[in-house]
Amino acid sequence: MEVIAKGKYIRISPKKARPIADLLRGKNAREARVMLEAMPQKGAKLIGKVLASAMANAENNFSLEKDQLTIKGVTIDGGPVLKRYMPRAQGRASEIRKRTSHIEIVVAGDVKTKKEKKQTEIKAKEAKEDQKVESRPEVAGNEKLNPKESIGKGPKIFRRKTG
């Protein structure tokens, strides 16, 4: 299933943001998030916010797992241009264009049904119980182990030298 997140009117030039977007296409969403956090560019931070939104949409609205999401597409289109003017020589004015971007990220993943989720939860609980049982010391009957008695009873390699 595909999930879309859009960031509109973001104050960065599309020309500066597109090279960052090119690195993300086809990658795992978590890996891409880590990559964006490590990049020094302003566009990486802004694209990271939209990617985080897409991942949250997938998890909360469509019950997809964040680990299984892949980035299917990233498009960065130009938004409206803010026009400002700077005074120049001889009474003239030159135009300054402050460009904006519309960022759209599409992530895709497999949908898990409620039955599959319950099965994975049950398996996880069973695995935890098995670990608890293995970590308990073997006790015969109602006898309890005294910590002082159990010091020298391990395998020969791990025995403590006394005396």
Residues in the chain, how many?
A: 163
> For residues 134 and 112, what is the distance between their CA atoms, to the nearest angstrom?
31
In this predicted model, what pLDDT tens digit does every residue of 2-18 receive, in sequence order?
A: 999 999 999 999 999 99
The SS3 call for residue 116 is: helix
Least confident of 14-23, 55-64, 109-118: 109-118
Residue 93 lies in a domain: yes
Scan for tokens 């299984």, then name that residue: 68
Residue 39 lies in a domain: yes
Residue 98 near residue 84, CB atoms below 8 Å: yes
Residue 141 lies in a domain: no
Sheet with 2-10: list strands edge to edge. Answer: 2-10, 101-108, 70-78
Residue 60 lies in a domain: yes
Residue 137 lies in a domain: no
The overall pTM is greater than 0.75: no
Give me the domain span that covers residue 27. Answer: 2-111
Residue 157 lies in a domain: no
Given a cut of 90, whether residue 154 has pLDDT beyond it is no
Residue 15 lies in a domain: yes
CATH code for the domain in which residue 43 is found: 3.90.470.10
Instruction: Provide the domain count of the chain.
Output: 1
Residue 75 near residue 25, CB atoms below 8 Å: no
Beta-carbon contacts of 10 under 8 Å, excluding residues fewer than 6 positions away, are 17, 46, 79, 100, 101, 102, 103
In this predicted model, what pLDDT tens digit does every residue of 82-125 receive, in sequence order?
A: 999 999 999 999 999 999 999 999 999 887 666 677 777 788 88
Residue 163 lies in a domain: no
